[in-house]
Amino acid sequence: MAFALSSIRLESSAFSAHDAIPKTYTGEGSDLSPALSWHDAPEGTKAYAVICHDPDAPLVQNGSYGFAHWLLYNLPGSTTSLAENTGEGTRGKNDFGNLGYGGPMPPEGHGQHHYYFWILALDKPTDLPEGLDLPELLKQVEPYLLGMNRLVGTYRRG
């Protein structure tokens, strides 16, 4: 299946769609991953992956623009939420070169960036190793993708 939006809905108690992400969840604050929850997953969902990506970052790598802030996978199909600063799932390598979450922190003077928090619903449980980067994660999960959707937040460096 191609990557396309589906009926699954992603929300956060930390910020609403297209609103500013609070500083607590950024590199200028406590750098905590925000709480997320989702519902209306496609029938047959057996696993999830979560990605946070900034397409406004002035960085070209792996053939595309943007910056991966968070890769989290191997989440069971019974999962419908993640607590703030979650320890669930398996951490991938973000573009800071670290495992887990690295919050928004656009370059100084670069203006407002958009942060896409993606939820990917998969039709097969995964047992992927820790440390996958974004291209490798997408390559591994694409054959099992049932649906996906996103929550977009914004942040402007203070």
Cβ neighbours for 77, distance < 8 A, ≥ 6 positions apart? 41, 45, 46, 47, 48, 125
Contact between 6 and 121 under an 8 Å Cβ cutoff? The reply is: yes
Q: How far apart are CA 110 and CA 47, in angstroms?
A: 36
pLDDT grade for 158, boundaries at 50, 70 and 90: confident
Write down the domain spans for the chain.
Answer: 9-156
Region 35-63: mean pLDDT is 89
pLDDT tens digits, residue range 72-120?
A: 999 999 999 999 999 999 999 999 999 999 999 998 888 999 999 999 9
- Burial track 54-86 (b if 16+ CB lie within 10 A, e otherwise): bebbeeeeeeeebbbbbbbbbbebebeebeeeb
Q: What is the pLDDT of residue 1?
A: 42
Q: Check pLDDT > 90 for residue 59.
A: no
Q: How far apart are CA 95 and CA 58, in angstroms?
A: 13
Q: Check pLDDT > 70 for residue 24.
A: yes
Q: What is the pLDDT of residue 60?
A: 58
> Hey, which CATH number is domain 9-156, 3.90.280.10, 3.40.50.970, 1.10.760.10, 3.90.1150.10?
3.90.280.10
- In the three-class reduction of DSSP (H, G, I as helix; E, B as strand; rest coil), residue 102 is classed as coil
Q: Which residue has the higher pLDDT, 2 or 140?
A: 140
Q: Where are the alpha helices (DSSP H) in 21-96?
A: none
Residue 114 tokens, joined: 């958009």
Q: What is the pLDDT of residue 5?
A: 82
pLDDT tens digits, residue range 136-156?
A: 999 999 999 999 999 999 999
Q: What is the pLDDT of residue 58?
A: 76
